[in-house]
Amino acid sequence: MLAIYKKEMRSYFINPVGYVFIGVFLALSAALCCYTTLQSNSYSTASYYYWLILSMIIIIPLLTMRTFSEERKMRTEQMLMTAPISITGMVMGKFLAAMTIYAGCLAASCVNLIPLYVMGKRESNPDEGVVAGPVTPEVVGSLLGVLLIGAVFIAIGILISSMTENQLSAAVITIAVLAVMLILNMLNGVGSEEEGTRLINNYVVRYIIDWISVVSRFTNFQYGILDWSALLYYVSMTFIAIYLTVRVYERRRWA
């Protein structure tokens, strides 16, 4: 697993893909932060992190598209599959490498919040009881939430990459799947319960949509609440996708 992890990390930095991902991530997060906080005269980071999650739909596939499809195309998977490592180890190595890059970017993007804290410190006046600036627990909670959602997205991206031989189709399908998950969640939120104007009324359908829509569970994190059920949900979604990836490889051996 360690060998795979090291190789993946190196490949992110020999190829432009790693740099493109880091560059796009940081530029996008900076722009979003600017727009949602400074531009809108708000210290609340809630909408910043919400938009960051939306943008992950487009940029996470950059990170995951080549993980397995490239190996398959270059026939190098034959080397991995005949080496004395387990398939789980192989998938985990790749997943952890992608997670490392992603978590690194997320950590680096915290720089965006410095202006907010600086401004907040200037505006707040403890003597008069005026406290301004972003709420640190909210920021920490959101970061954790974004990290967990990113893990789910990466695991899904890796799963889709393992099913195709072409990087580009892996990326496009991943974007489509993630976007559908998100759009379903939005449709679920249309209308209101009290006025009876829900777009989707069927309880079962609502339940299923809620179950697969990753974003709906993010709200509690946004408010700085550690929601254990959501945490468990994200971790299980990640492991389900990883498990399915392992199955894809097992299945191919038996085909």
Partner 1 sequence: MIKISHLVKNYGNFTAVDDISFEVAKGEVLGFLGPNGAGKSTTMNMLTGYLSSTSGSIKIGGVDVLDDPLNAKRLIGYLPEQPPLYPDMTVEEYLSFAYDLKNCKLNKEKHLREICEVVKITDVYHRMLKNLSKGYKQRVGIAQALVGNPPVIIFDEPTIGLDPKQIIEIRNLIRTLGKEHTVILSTHILQEVQAVCDRIVIINKGKIVANELTENISRAVENTRRFNVKISGPQRDVLALLRNLPGICYAEVLAARDGDAYTYMIESEVGIDIRKKLFWALAERKWPLIGLEALGMSIEDIFIAVVDKTAPEAAAAKAKKKTRYEGVRAAEEKELASDIVEKTVKDQENASFEEESTDSAYYEDHSIKEDTFASEGEKNEDRKED
Q: Whole-angstrom Cα distance, residue 155 to residue 79?
A: 23
- Cβ partners under 8 Å of residue 70, min gap 6: 76, 167
Tell me if 72 contacts partner 1 by CB under 8 A: no
Cβ closest to partner 1, residue 8 vs residue 138: 8
Tell me if 204 contacts partner 1 by CB under 8 A: no
Residue 212 one-letter amino acid: I
Tell me if 247 contacts partner 1 by CB under 8 A: no
Tell me if 86 contacts partner 1 by CB under 8 A: yes
Q: Which residues pair with 130 in a beta bridge?
A: 125
Q: Which residues pair with 125 in a beta bridge?
A: 130
Q: Whole-angstrom Cα distance, residue 247 to residue 163?
A: 11
Tell me if 17 contacts partner 1 by CB under 8 A: no
Cβ closest to partner 1, residue 52 vs residue 248: 248
Q: Which of 129, 192, 196, 253 binds partner 1 (CB under 8 A)?
A: 253
Positive or negative: CA dihedral 227, 229, 232, 233: negative
Tell me if 78 contacts partner 1 by CB under 8 A: yes
Q: Whole-angstrom Cα distance, residue 36 to residue 56?
A: 16
Span interacting with partner 1, options 20-28, 55-63, 79-87, 208-216, rule CB under 8 A:
79-87
Q: Smallest gap, in angstroms, from Cβ of residue 87 to partner 1?
A: 9
Tell me if 20 contacts partner 1 by CB under 8 A: no
Q: Whole-angstrom Cα distance, residue 92 to residue 239?
A: 10
Cβ closest to partner 1, residue 203 vs residue 254: 254
Binding site for partner 1 (CB under 8 A): 2-4, 6-7, 10-11, 14-15, 74-86, 253-255
